Amino acid sequence: MDARTFYAELKALERVERGNPGSHQSTECENCSSCMFCHQCRDCHACNYCEGCIRCTRLTHAHQCEDCHQSSQLIECIRCYDSKYLVKCTDCDHCTYCFGCIGLTRKEFYILNRPYERKAYFATVKALKAALGLAP
């Protein structure tokens, strides 16, 4: 095999590997598999309705997340697992309704790693989202 043949075959393999096998109605995604209705994601698997996510699996309704797994309704989170309704969180596990938290496990209604009453949490998050320019 000469160099030209090698590079031609390598390029053909890269096209196959960098596709989006099993994905449905996902746009501008790269190397994702079994994803549906995603946009501009990369290296994700089995995600739905995600946008701008990287190396995530089994997410739904997530935006700009990295290395998150088995979660829903995440915004700009990193390495979060089995969580819901997190915004700007990192390394949170089994958490619900947290904003700007790092390293929490099994917590809910926390902002910057401090607990809030449910009603106060939603009022504070609404104001924070407006101040940070995040969608309501």
Q: What is the pLDDT of residues 12-46, one digit of tens each?
A: 766 544 578 888 888 999 999 999 999 999 999 99
Same-domain status, 64 and 117: no
Average pLDDT value for residue range 93-110: 98
Average pLDDT over the chain, rounded to whole? 92
Domain of residue 134: give its range: 75-136
Q: Structurally, how many domains does the chain consist of?
A: 2
Task: Mark which of 24, 54, 70 sits at the end of a domain.
Answer: 70
pLDDT in tens, 73-87: 999 999 999 999 999
Element spanning 107, H or E: none
What is the per-residue pLDDT for 13? 65
Task: Mark which of 49, 70, 91 sits at the end of a domain.
Answer: 70
Radius of gyration of the chain (CA): 18
Same-domain status, 92 and 130: yes
Identify residue 78 by its one-letter amino acid code.
Answer: I
What is the per-residue pLDDT for 14? 60
Same-domain status, 12 and 44: yes
